[in-house]
């Protein structure tokens, strides 16, 4: 059997990072039940039964005992076919259960973004900025230098770690939804996928240019964003498209130069 399809979408839910629609969770539960069914064990193959019976017939003749029951051969053929039928059914159940999850993702993908990921994202980003501000006011944001800091500061640092992990779950789920068409072809480089004011933070429009936050861990990425006035968001494809073209229309020359 194959595992759960698109696990990144469910990992964050299971970690408490966000909610998911009930029909999707129900489909996941059905998949789990199918996956938990014991795989049919193969019976003795008819060829092996025949080989064994040949030995038993010779032994019976040699010892003068009753001949073995030759109907075992037909029983073995029936058992083999029954086993194959069971294998085919289990495989078919797996395919159907998997496709039902994908159908739910296609049907509810937009609602997952707007009703589940978006509010979780907003709560996470607001909470992170508040905790990061506490660290800034203390004068240091690095955990290794906060061991002797006041309890309030150490708690804020722990909050930043927890919310950075939550943010990772949320964005991973959003990325996983792109396979179902919830992406923005107008923004192929994904500049506005996470950051509404991308070019305000990174004016460099060269195709190979790297933004200032390139290579940062999630915690440091969020910290950099908090310090530089980033507008992190969780847009729908249409919202991302609108932001892309709003920037393009406001800066036509810049767009021609590598927008």
- Report yes or no on 235 lying in a domain: yes
Q: Which of 49, 84, 101 is the last residue of a domain?
A: 101
3-class DSSP assignment, residue 195: strand
Per-residue confidence (pLDDT) for residue 255, from 0 to 100: 53
* Structural domain contains residue 121: no
Full domain range(s) for residue 233: 183-259
Domain contains 205: yes
Would you say residue 178 lies in a domain?
Answer: no
Q: Are 18 and 170 in contact (CB under 8 A)?
A: yes
pLDDT in tens, 72-97: 999 999 999 999 999 999 999 999 99
Residue 135 lies in a domain: no
**Domains of the chain: total:** 2
Q: Quick one: which of 229, 232, 19 has its CA closest to 120?
A: 19
Q: What is the pTM of this model?
A: 0.85
Q: Which residues of 50-87 are buried (b: 16+ CB within 10 A; e: fewer)?
A: eeebeebeeeeeeeeeeeeeeebeeebeebbeeeeeee
* pLDDT for residue 249: 78
pLDDT value, residue 210: 86
Cα–Cα dist 177/168, whole Å: 14
Kindly state whether residue 69 falls inside one of the protein's structural domains: yes
CB contact at 8 A, 170 and 124: yes
Domain boundary among 62, 77, 101: 101
Is residue 76 one of the residues assigned to a domain?
yes
The pLDDT assigned to 254 comes to 54
Residue 2's pLDDT is: 64
Low-confidence ranges of the chain (pLDDT < 50): 259
The single-letter DSSP state of residue 179 is: G
**Separation between Cα atoms, residue 29 and residue 101, nearest integer Å:** 10
pLDDT at 208: 66
Among 86, 101, 116, which residue terminates a domain?
Answer: 101
What pLDDT is stored for residue 207 in this prediction? 59
């Amino acid at each position: 059997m194959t595992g759960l399809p698109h696990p990144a979408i469910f990992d964050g839910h299971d970690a408490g990072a966000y909610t998911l629609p009930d029909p999707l969770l129900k489909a996941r539960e059905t998949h789990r039940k199918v996956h938990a069914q014991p795989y049919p064990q193969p019976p003795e193959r008819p060829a092996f039964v025949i080989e064994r019976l040949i030995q038993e017939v010779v032994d019976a003749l040699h010892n003068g005992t009753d001949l073995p029951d030759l109907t075992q051969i037909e029983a073995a053929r029936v058992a083999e076919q029954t086993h194959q039928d069971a294998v085919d059914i289990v495989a078919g159940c797996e395919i159907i259960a998997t496709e039902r999850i994908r159908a739910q993702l296609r049907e509810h993908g937009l609602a997952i973004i707007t009703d589940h990921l978006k509010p979780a994202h907003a709560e996470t980003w607001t909470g992170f900025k508040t905790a990061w501000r506490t660290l800034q006011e203390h004068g240091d944001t690095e955990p290794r230098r906060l061991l002797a800091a006041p309890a309030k500061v150490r708690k804020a640092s722990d909050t930043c770690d927890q919310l950075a992990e939550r943010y990772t779950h949320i964005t991973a789920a959003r990325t996983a939804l792109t396979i179902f068409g919830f992406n923005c072809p107008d923004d192929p480089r994904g500049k506005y996928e996470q950051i509404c004011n991308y070019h305000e933070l990174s004016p460099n429009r060269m195709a190979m240019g790297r933004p200032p936050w390139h290579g940062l861990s999630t915690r440091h990425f969020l910290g950099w964003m908090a310090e530089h006035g980033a507008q992190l968001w969780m847009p729908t494809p249409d919202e991302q498209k609108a932001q892309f073209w709003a920037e393009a229309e406001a800066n036509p020359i810049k767009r021609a130069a590598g927008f």
